[in-house]
Every structure is written in C-alpha cells, then in structure tokens.
Structure 1
Amino acid sequence: MSHVRALLRSVWLGPALVMLLVGLLRTAHPELWRDEISSWSAATRDLGALVGMLENVDASNGVYYVLLHFWTTLFGDSVLSLRMPSALAMAGAAAFTALTARRLFDSRTAGLAAGLLPATVPLVSRFAQEVRTYALVTCAVAAACCLLLRALERPGAGRWSLYALAMALAGCCHLISLSSLAGQLVLVLAHWWGRRREPGAARVLWQFPLAVLAVLLAAAPVAVYGGRQVGRQLGWVPRPSVHDLQYFWHDLLGSPREMQVFAALALLALLHPRFTRGAVQALLLGTLPVLLVWLASQGSGSYFTNRYLLFTVPALAMAAGGGVAAVAGLLGHLTARPLAVTAALSLIAVPLVLGAPRQQQQRALLAHADRDFAGAAAVIAAGYQPGDGLVTAAGDQAWAMVEPGVTFYLPASVRPVPMFVERDATRAQDLYAVPCPVAQRCVGDAPRTWLVTIGTGDDPYEGLPDGQTEALRYAFVLTDTRRLPGMTVSLLVRKA
C-alpha cells in the first residue's frame, strides 16, 4: 500500500493522466490526413519491404515506422490503434516535464504546473492525436532532459547510458531534435560551474561529450540516408524570415494571448530569487534549438516549422511552471500553503480557456485533413460492384496519397482494381506507385471504374495526366459525379 500511496502522491502521475485524457479525447473522430496515411502505408508493409522503402524515401522517419510496424502487428491498424502511441508518448512527455521542472526549481508546485501546462497547448494535443513521430520525439527529448539532470546529480555509466539512449531515440526519429543538445549543454555547464570546486566535478565535462558522441553515432545512419533524400522530403519548407522567428512562439503555443500567458509566468520565475537559475535554464532549453534551426534554415534547405520543434514546448512549460510556483510562494505569505498552491495552479486554467476553441476545432471530422478520404470511400462502397476499377490522382499529385487514403477507409470486401499502375508502392519500394508509361495499354477490361481526383472544379478529370484522361474518355462514359471536401468522385461505365 505504501507504494500505491507514493505513486498517487507523485508529481508526474497527474500530468501524465491529464495529458493522456486530452490526447484520447475524440482521437478517432478526425480523419487521417495524407501524412498519417503515409505512416500507415509504410508501417503495415512487411519488414523487408519497409526497409527497402526507407532506402529510397522517408529514412528520417524510419525508426518511427519500424516501431509502428510492430505496434500494428500487435494491436491492428484502426484509427484509434494508430494514434494511441502518440497519445501515450505525449503523456510520457508530460510526466518527464513534471519531473524535470521539480528538479530544476526544487519545487513540487513547479513540477506539477509544468507537467500540466502542455495539455493546454492546442498543437501538443493535436500531435498527441496524429500518426507521426512528433509526440515520440517530444517524449524522448523530455526524458533525455530528466535523465541528464539525474546523471549530473550522481554520475554513473548506467545513468549516462539511459540519457544517451533517450537522446538517440529522439535523434533517430527526427534529426532536428538533436538541436536540443544546445540547451542541454547549458544544463551541463551550469551544473559544473556550481560545483566546480568540488572533487571530481570536472568529470561531467568529458562524460557529457562522450554520451553525445554515442548519440551522434546512433543517429549517423539516419543522417546519411536522410541527407540523400532531403530535397524530396523538405522542398516544401520555405526559408524563414526574421518575422517568422519573431512570431514562431505565437504559432507554437496557439495564439499571441497564450504565448503571453506563458511569457508572463516565465517572467515571474525569472524575477523570483529562488527560481531565477531554473527559469534561465528552462528558457534556454526551449529557445536555443529554435534559434539554431532558424539559422540552419538560412542555407540551401529549410527545417523551420512548428511541428519539427514541438519538442521545445516542455521546456517552455517548465519555465512557466516556475512562475506558478513563484505565485504560490507569494500567496503563501497571505494564506495557508495548500490554499496558496491551489490558487496558483488555477492559473493553468487561463491558457486552457484561451486554447479551448482550437482544441475543439481540431477534433472536428476534417480538422487534420483537407480531403475527405472517408467520404470518397463511402461513395465507392455504396455503389461498388465486383470487378470495378479505380483511378486516383497520381504522378505530380501523388503527394496527396489519394489511393492509399481512400483504400484505408474502404471495407475489406470492397477492393476496386487500381488502373494505370505499372508497380504498386510496395513493389516500387516507395510511398507512391509507378504509373504506366503508356496509359492506353493499361486501361484493362473493367466494366466500370471509379475516378477520384483532387479539387471540386467542373472538370472531373482535372489534374490527371493527359494520356490517362484521353484513355478514359475513349473507353468510358461519365455517368455520375459527386463532389466532396477537396475531392471529386466520379463513376465511369465502359462504352458499349
């Protein structure tokens, strides 16, 4: 019973449960969007096919895909199952945030507040409900910060190994997270400076670099393969301006008002003599990676987007948690301590209320998606006949993942035959299928075919390669067209 009571009193349990609840709230309701469909497509291949794909594309997400592969093997590939690892990972991030803040500020109130604050950030709960690697990376970086502090307090091979393992997981899942090493270096230097006159204090100055070296060696294969694919993977990210840097935290934390709440609480921590040191360290943990990535993005490739830097939110929450503890300390001079702590923790309701509209909005049916894959699948399933064909936006529009997106939502008994496909994505060892070079030769003999294109314009063939359009017009007659959010579904019947 003593272990149970200790668990219930722990600073991390409440934040973890709250974050898990927020992450699971209506998690299966929003449709999967194209990036999540990419994760599903990759993870549900056999392991050999997945490795073959990673040699050509998306190596930077390879570790996540492999982990998701084993997860879906055990628990299936429903929307809830696919998103569950992200919800669990973000709950873990909240737990480690609470533990780290408690150590940084030597305050249970700071730890509890810091652990609860991420759940108020709309972007955090969004990626707690997404089949991508960002929640796992956030958890791994938060764990690494906590384990680093433990290693600094009592250095040992086991503790340094755990830190390196957590940081290696973060780096292998997303190389951008290695920028967090800059903020962690601050923790190391602050610890060494505070104990520099103690015997053996200088050991951390070689132990930390050795652990970082192990992290970099572990992430090196991902960096090599990912570097070869960077043009294809990141060509869509624009070079950031000074304006983008200035307003980055508005976007990251939800809105200017939510950012101002975090900033005000962090300022209170900075001004409190007991918490200044911890607040400075937490703020550097949260801001140095952003500055480094912004600078790196001024070169030939850009990496500056909010979800890539989601792992900095726990550090910002730590700084704000210190501010909550500072308020509790001030109120403690006016009233009983339990009442002061409760009143201070109620400040967390401010960003929660400010972010509530976005929290609700991002749980709508098409909150993640700009194309209604499930709606298109429902139209096809309602009119399906065995032997039907399927033509979807491909080629220059393959990035939209229309064919796998629609297929995911089709019942198992509804399987129209893809047309104009020379090799499917699995055989091509890619996320995208290879289209037939000569469309006329790949029309096949299907009596009917379903056509799914991007957009809702007057032309249902819009966006198809000219050869495919000509082949379809020659062999089929358009009999029905349905326009859905972001998509058009048409039924073509072969000419007599």
Structure 2
Amino acid sequence: MRHWPAGASAVTVLLVGMWRIGSPQLWRDEVSSWSAASRSLGDLFAMLGNVDASNGAYYLLLHGWTALAGDSPTALRLPSAIAMAGTAWFTAMMAQWLFRSPAAGLAAGLLLAVAPSVSRYAQEARSYALVACAVTAALWCLVRALDRPADRTLDRPSWRWWVGFTVCTAVGGVLHLVSLVAVVGQLPLVLAAGRRALKPYAASVAVAVLPVVPLVVLGTVQAGRQLSWIERPDSEDLQFFWQGLIGAHQVMYALLGLVALGLLLPGAAAGTRAVTARLVLLAALPVLLVWLVSQGTTSYFADRYLLFTVPVWAIAAGGGVAAAYGAVRAADTRHTALSGAAATVLAVGLVAYPAHLAVPRERGVRGTTAHSPNDYSGAAELIARGYRSGDELIAAGGLEAWLMIGPALDYYLPEGVEPAQPYVVRSAEEADDLYPVESRVPEGGLRTAHRIWVVTNGTSGDPYQKLTAEQTAALRADFTPTEVRRVAGLTVSLLVRNQQ
C-alpha cells in the first residue's frame, strides 16, 4: 500500500493525457514523426543518415509501435501518454522517499498533472514525454543508490540501482541529446552523499554516454539545418522561459510558492530545507547550462527540450506541502497531511483550469487545431470533397517546406484520393529526407493538367501566396481560380485550365 500515492498520480496523469487525445490534428513535427516511422527500416536508416538522427531512436520505437497499433492520431500519441503516466509514478515515489511523507508523494504526483505542459506533451507524437520518464526514472534510481542505510557505506553500493541509473540515463540521451544536461543538476545530490559516491556516479555517467556518442557526431553535422529556427536567447528569454516550461504563469507561481514553503517555513525540518534546495538546483541548473551553451553558434533553448525538469519542480513543491502541514499542525497525522495535500492540489488545479483550457485553440475542448495553427485535415477534406480523377496538387514547398503541408495532406487525404504532384520529382522517401525534392519547372510543363488544387500557407485569399515566382507565372498563364477557400492557417484553391 505504500505505493498508492504513486499509483494514484500515474492514473490521474494518464486520464488527463488521454482526454480527447485523438481530437487535435497532427502538427508539423508530429507529421514528421509519422512520415519517418511509416517508412521501411532501410528507408528510415537512410533518412537518418541525412537528417534528424537525434530523433532516430524515437522514430524506430514509433515504427515498431505503429506496426502493431496503427497510425491514427490516438495510436501515434499513446506512447507519450503512457510515458507521462510513468513520469508521474517516479515523481511521486521520489517525493515520498526524499521527504519521508506519503503526502509529499501524493502532492508531487498530482501537481505534475496540474501543469498544462504535462498534458500538452502527453498528447504529442514526439519523444519529450518519453525523455521526461527516462530522466525521472534515472533520478529515482540515483536517489536510491545514494541514500544508503546508516549501517552500510557506498563502498558496496546497490549495483542494481546504479545499473538502473545508467540504463535510464542512456535511454534519455538516445531519445534526446539535450537530456544529458540533467547530469549537471544531479551533481549537488551526489556531492551531498559524500566523496564515495563520486566514483560509481562518474562510471555510470561515462557508460551511459557511450551509446549517445554516434548521435552527437551526426547531430553536430545536422544541427545547422534542424535547429536553425531556434534563436539565440537573451536574458529576457531566460526570464520568461519558466512560464513556457510549466505551461502557465499562474501554475508556475503556485509551484514556486509551494517550493518556498519547504525552504522558508520556520517549522520545516533542516533536512527538508536541504533536500528542497538541492531539488531547486536539480531543476534550474540544466536550464541555465542550456541557456549558456545556446549563446554560441547553435541554440538549443526550447522549453519542450527541457520538459524533463518539470517533475523536479513538482517534487520540490510536494515537499513544501508536506512541510506546511508539519508546521501548521503540530499533531499532524497521515490522514490530515494527505487531506491537506489533496486540498492544496485542488486549489492549484482550480487556479490552473483556465490555463488548461487555453492549451487548445478552441475554447474548452482539445479541438482540431489545438496543436497546430494550420488545419491540415480541413484542407484535405476540401480536396477530397471536390476531387476528380486526374486532379493534381501543388502544396507550398521551397522555403515553406518546414510546414510539412504536402506530407500532412498525404496523411489526411483518404484512400483513392491521390492527386499527382507535378513539381515533385522525388518523394521524401525517395530523397531520404523529410521533405520531397521539387523542380522549378515540372517536366513537360503543366500541359496535362486540367484541374489543380493549390494549398498555401496563410489566409489572405491569394491562391498563389508563398508559391515560387515560376509556379505563380505558370499557373496564372493557363489557369483560373474557380474556388478559393480558407481553413485555419491555410488557403485551398481549385484552379481550372482556361478554355482554348
């Protein structure tokens, strides 16, 4: 029964993550996940040699998963929902262990569910939830390895916990390289355990890094293309980073307030203050390091890359809840402490409720455009509704290729609706890339086309916006727009050949 706070936390986070999980359509990064995972293993490895090697482990995992579960939005996101529930389990277990309080464990696990970023990335077909689970599991193993009973020493550490720490750290690193900065935050915990902890810790980290080295080499080569969208952060970016990390400023302030209780309450035990202070360093140091590293030529400063630090804030806040009830009620019992923890989480949840509604763009539900400003499925529906055999398709590419409009339409168009794409000379699979290869002028021109669907980024109503000058000139010369429709973020136009 001692694990029930962790079980309750995991179930709660799973339920939160599963709520309308299939409603938001895939956004461009999730389309990339589907595009990579749906290829054969040979094609997938060929692609990883050119691009996105840092996500290769996740794509391989998703490749195997979709072979069993299919590639619906729900199926693609389900591993993330399960991983986030696992994160909640380890979060609650660690808080209960560190603060020797079931109330701390329950509060920490449930506070994790309150953070809007947690429910957001529990519904994301990317690696971030899995990384959070791996890093939190590694931390749990580390804490158990370091926290030896008084009659034993670190001369004979529990090798099972060190092995677990090594494996989980390696898994996190292979899934996302940035997760390795968690090691920096762990140093205060290790140093507090004494010099004898340094040797097994250093050995474990060294072994964990080995399988990541090939990804570091490939990732360094590919970083310019993959990370060019992230700007070099300044001090203001660091100041407002925490709000994006947690998902809402009101939840961030609530967590910080609870953490402060563990540090400042007069009745808090000295051990509680020390543990809370180390947890603050554990959560903050990785963010500060990534910010510093990002002052160089390549920036890695994106809140979702550091999602794995959110559970640590929840653990520290859980300790603050336990400290508050220990200080306020001298005759504290387990029942009153647990009741207080539940009441505290409920209060924070009520404060956070508007922020959770703001996660989707459609008020009050996880709507179709919750993840993406571009309504890919709506565009595909318009095409499918008016499609005729022989129709062709031009999806904005070139400098707009990063929006993944063409691959997203491939995902959402129903079977039997397969318009030819005259400007695509090699598909993404044939090019071993995430984007197809386009020509400036299609072979044979556009003489064979009678109707062309054009999907462009933006809703100005101009059917040629974001197309190249050559594409626009060719279409204007021989075609007339007969339908120009707008969906969220996109314009869908039907062009018909002029009568001769």
Counterpart AA for 1:206: K
Q: Distance in 1 between matches of 2:330 and 2:371?
A: 47
Number of equivalenced pairs: 481
The AA in structure 1 aligned to 2:488 is: P
Contact kept? 1:456, 1:488, Cα under 8 Å: yes
Match for 1:290: what amino acid?
Answer: V
Match 1:71 to one of 45, 59, 65 = 65
Q: Which residue of 2 aligns with 1:222?
A: 215
Q: Is the 8 A contact 2:230 2:299 kept in 1?
A: yes
Q: CA RMSD for the aligned pairs?
A: 1.7
Residue 293 (structure 1) aligned with residue 298 (structure 2): no
Matched residue, 1:186? 188
Find out whether 1:240 has 2:233 as its counterpart: yes
DSSP 3-state at the match of 1:27 = coil
Q: How does 1:343-362 map to 2 (within 5 A)?
A: 343-361=340-358, 362=360
Quote the Cα distance in structure 2 between the aligned partners of 1:165 and 1:387: 53
Q: 2:102 aligns with which of 99, 105, 108?
A: 108
Aligned to 1:211: 204
1:177 equivalent among 168, 174, 179: 179
**Deviations, residues 378-433 of structure 1 (Å, cap 9, x unaligned):** 10111111221111000111001001112211112221122201100000000000
Give the one of 243, 248, 255 matched to 1:250: 243
Retained in 2: the 8 A contact 1:86–1:129?
yes
Q: 1:48 to 1:444 in 2, by over 3 A?
A: farther
* In 2, Cα distance between equivalents of 1:264 and 1:76: 43
Q: Secondary structure at the match of 1:488?
A: strand
Q: Is the 8 A contact 2:170 2:212 kept in 1?
A: yes
Q: Provide the secondary structure at the position in 1 that maps to 2:179.
A: helix
Matching residue of 2:408: 405
Aligned partner of residue 493 in structure 2, secondary structure? strand
1:307 is matched by which residue type in structure 2? R
Alpha-carbon shift at residue 351 of structure 1 (Å): 2.6
Q: 1:192 to 1:259 in 2, by over 3 A?
A: same
Q: Which residue matches 1:134? A: 128
Q: Could you say which residue in structure 1 is the equivalent of 2:309?
A: 312
Q: Give the Cα separation in 1 of the matches to 2:106 and 2:252.
A: 19
Q: Quote the Cα distance in structure 1 between the aligned partners of 2:171 and 2:490.
A: 38
Q: How big is the shift at 1:134?
A: 0.7
- In the alignment, is residue 392 of structure 1 matched against residue 385 of structure 2? no
* DSSP-derived class of the 2:5 partner: coil
Assess if the C-alpha contact under 8 Å between 2:482 and 2:496 holds in 1.
yes
Q: Identify the range of structure 1 (363-372 vs 352-361) with the bigger mean alpha-carbon deviation.
A: 352-361
User: Aligned to 1:483, what secondary structure does the other structure show?
Assistant: strand
User: In the TM superposition, what whole-angstrom CA distance separates every residue of 1:240-297 from its partner, at most 9, and x where no partner exists?
Assistant: 1122222222232233332221111111112312411221121111111011111111
| Pairwise CA distance, 1:477 | 2.8
Partners of 1:438 and 1:260 in 2: CA distance: 55
Alignment of 1:28-39 (within 5 A): 28-39=22-33
SS at match of 1:275: helix
Deviations 1:47-101 (CA, angstroms, capped at 9, x unpaired): 1111111111111111111111111111000010011111011101110111111
| Structure 2 counterparts to residues 386-465 of structure 1, below 5 A | 386-439=389-442, 441-443=444-446, 445-465=448-468
8 Å contact kept, 2:461–2:491 = no
Secondary structure at the counterpart of residue 100 of structure 1: helix
| Matched residue SS, 1:439 | coil
Q: How far, CA to CA, are the matches of 1:446 and 1:41 in structure 2?
A: 27
2:380 to 350, 353, 377: 377
TM-score by length of structure 2 reads 0.93
Q: Return the alpha-carbon distance in structure 2 between the equivalents of residues 476 and 248 of structure 1.
A: 48
The alpha-carbon deviation at position 443 of structure 1 amounts to: 2.8
1:196 aligns with none
Distance 1:300 1:65 in 2: 27
Q: Which residue is 2:370 aligned to? A: 367
Deviations 1:289-330 (A, max 9, x none): 011111111111111121111110000111100011112223
Distance 2:141 2:447 in 1: 59
CA contact (8 A) 1:420 1:442 kept: no
Partner of 1:21: 15
Residues 184-215 of structure 1 deviation map (CA, whole Å, 9 limit, x = unaligned)? 2222111126xxxxxxxx2x221111111111
**Residue 479 (structure 2) aligns with:** 476
State the secondary structure of the residue aligned to 1:425: coil
Instruction: Give, in whole Å, the separation in 1 of the partners of 2:164 and 2:254.
Output: 34
Moved more, 69-78 or 177-186: 177-186
Name 1:342's counterpart in structure 2. Answer: 339
Out of 82, 85, 88, the position equivalent to 1:94 is 88
254, 262, 272: which one aligns with 2:255:
262
Letter aligned with residue 414 of structure 1: V
- Partner of 1:415: helix, strand, or coil? coil
What is the alpha-carbon distance in structure 2 between the residues aligned to residue 75 and residue 94 of structure 1? 24
Report the CA distance between 1:442 and its aligned residue. 4.9
SS in 1 for 2:98: helix
Q: Which amino acid aligns with 1:353?
A: L
Compared with structure 1, are the counterparts of its residues 439 and 466 closer, same or farther at alpha carbon in structure 2 (3 Å cutoff)? farther
Q: Secondary structure of 2:393's partner?
A: strand
Offset of 1:453 from its aligned partner? 0.7
Contact 1:389 1:416 in 2 (8 A): yes
CA distance, structure 1, for counterparts of residue 257 and residue 458 of structure 2: 44
Worse-matched range after superposition: 155-164 or 174-183: 155-164
Q: Report the alpha carbon displacement of residue 444 of structure 1 after superposing the two structures with TM.
A: 6.1
**Cα displacement (A) at 1:437:** 3.8
- How far apart are 1:334 and its partner, in Å? 5.4
State the match for 2:363 in structure 1: none
C-alpha contact (below 8 Å) 1:24/1:129 kept by paired residues? yes
Give percent identity, aligned residues only. 48
